[in-house]
Amino acid sequence: MKYVIVTGGVLSGLGKGITASSIGVLLKSAGLRLTSIKIDPYLNCDAGTMSPFEHGEVFVLDDGGEVDLDLGNYERFLDVALTRENNITTGKVYGNVIEKERRGDYLGKTVQVVPHITNEIQDWIERVANVCSDGSGEIADVCVIELGGTVGDIESAPFVEALRQFQFRVGKENVCFVHVSLVPVMGPVGEQKTKPTQHTVKELRGLGIIPDILVCRSEKPLEEETRAKLAAFCHVAEDAVVSAHDVSNLYQIPISLYEQSVLRKVSDQLGFTVPNSMPLLEDWRVMADKVDNLEKEVRIAMVGKYTGLSDSYLSVIKALQHSAFSVNRKLEIDWIESTELDPTEDSENHDDAWKIVKAADGILVPGGFGIRGIEGKIAAAHYARTNNVPYLGVCLGLQIATIEFCRNVLGLEGANSTEFDENTPNPAVVFMPEISKTHMGGTMRLGTKPTPFLVDDCKIRRLYGGADHVDERHRHRYEVNPELIEQIEAAGLVYVGKDETGQRCEIMELEGHPYYVGTQYHPEFKSRPNRPSPPFLGLLMAAVGQKI
C-alpha cells in the first residue's frame, strides 16, 4: 500500500481537499486503484450535529455516515464510495481508546497520547486503506490521506505525530508528503511573499515531517524567483514547488498539477511507472475545456435558508453543475433567502426576491431543518406548481411541496409539518415513529436505502433509465403522513416511488406538469461530473425545454 498524505499550513480553507482529490485523479489516470481518508481533528464523533454555517454541508455516505464535505469531493473526483470509517475524528479515536481502556485491553498500562492514541490512529489508517472503495472487490494501490486543519494547531498535534511515526511503520518509500501553503501578494509592487510558507514548513519539519511536494496557493502563477526561493528555504527540490493558482474551473486543477509534473514527482517517490497513454486524464481535459466554453445560460433559483454560505449546499451545487454540463448550458444560480419570499413577512427585499424567482428557468428547494423561512419555501413551491415552472424539491423540498398541495389543492386549512407546528390540525408531514427524540447525532433515517418504483412509466423513472428501483442516500427525521397519501394521490400529486414497505413516500411527481418532482432522499450525494444525478438532470432538461 502506498500513501499520499496532504497537510496544510498558514490558514485553513486553502483547498487541501481539492488538492488531495486532484492528485487522486492523476494517480487513477495512471491506472492505480484509489481510496481516501479525511482526518478531522475536532472532538465531534462526526459532522452530523454541526450547523452548515459552521462547517459547510454534512455529506452522507452509503452506510449512513455523516461526514465532512471533503469526502464528497473525493467521491465525485475519484468515483468511489467511501464509508464512515474513511473519516477519522478526534472524538472517534479517543472514544475507541477509552473503550479499550475500560475493557482492560492495555493490561494496567498508563494510557497516554503516545503511544496509545497515535497507535490507534495508525491502526485505523492501515485498516481502512485496505478496504475496497471502488466496487471492484480489490484492495486499493494508493490511499490519499488529508489532515484537516492547520499544522501547529493543538488539536491536530496527535495526528501529526501519528503520521510522523507512520512513515517508518510502512516504509518511507511508501509515503509521499504533500504540504499545501499560502503565498500572498502584499504591497503596491505586488510581490509574492514566501515567509508564511517558510514558517509553516519549518514548523512541519520541526514536528518530524519533511514535505516531498509543496503546493502553493496564490492568485497568480508562482514566479520563477518565488519558486527558487521557496525551494532554497524549504528544503524541497525546485520542481517540487507547485503553483496552485486560481483557474477557470475546478476541473482544470488536475490538468494544472499534471502539467507541473506532480504525477511524475509522486511516482518517483512511491516507485510506480506512469503509462504513456492516460485516457482518463484526457477525458478530464475535454470536460474541463467544455466547461470553459459553455456560453448559453440556464438560471436556477435556489430557495434555501443557508444561502449566506454556498458550502452549505456544495453537493447540490455540484449536481446542478454536472447536469448543466450534460445539457450544454452555463449554470447561473440565483440564491434566494427563503425568508424574503414569505408573504407574511414585511421584508424590504421581498419584491426583488420574487422578481428573481419569476425570471428563473427552474426552482430548487434543497434540504434543511428548522422553521425559519418555511413559508417562503411553500410560496416558491406554489408559484412553480401553478405556473408550470420546473421544480425539484429535495428532502424538505418534497415535504414543502406536499404541505403546499394539501393547503391549496385539498383545502386542508393550516396543513403543516409537525416539525414546525406540533398542534397543526392537518399534519401533512409527521415525525418518523422509530426516530429517537432524545439524541440528535446519528439518529435520523440515514444512508442508502432502496426505493422501488410503483408506476410503469413516469418522468423520474425514465431519467433513471427505466430501472425498477433506485438506491439513494437519506438524511431525515420526518415523512409524509401515511394517512393522507390516498387523498393526495387522488388529486394528482403521485408518490411514484415508496420504500420497500410501500408505506414511506420517497419520490413524488405532479401529473400534467412539465417537471414538478420531489425526492425524500438526497440524490445530489451520488452525482458525478460525467454521470449527473437523474432528478437534477431532469430539472435542467425541463428548464432548457428538452423532452424527458
Catalytic residues: 395, 522, 524
Nearest CA to 321 among 179, 137, 28, 529? Answer: 529
Q: How far apart are CA 200 and CA 234, in angstroms?
A: 9
Q: How do strand 142-147 and strand 34-40 relate by DSSP bridges?
A: parallel
Q: How far apart are CA 366 and CA 432, in angstroms?
A: 20
Q: How do strand 87-89 and strand 34-40 relate by DSSP bridges?
A: parallel
Asked whether the beta carbons of 538 and 463 are under 8 A apart, the reply is yes
- Give the three-state DSSP class for 373: coil
Asked whether the beta carbons of 8 and 54 are under 8 A apart, the reply is no
Percent of the chain that is helix, strand, coil (3-state, to 5): 40, 20, 40
Contacts of 418 (CB under 8 A, 6+ apart): 424, 427, 429, 430, 431, 478
Nearest CA to 399 among 523, 535, 520, 525? Answer: 520
Q: How far apart are CA 436 and CA 58, in angstroms?
A: 19
Q: How far apart are CA 292 and CA 89, in angstroms?
A: 37
Q: In sequence order, what DSSP letters do the residues of 411-435 get, joined into one string?
A: --TT-EETTT-TT-SSEEEEE-TTS
Of the chain, the end-to-end C-alpha distance in Å amounts to 45
Asked whether the beta carbons of 330 and 296 are under 8 A apart, the reply is yes
Q: How far is CA 464 from the centre of its chain?
A: 22
Q: What DSSP designation does 307 have? A: T
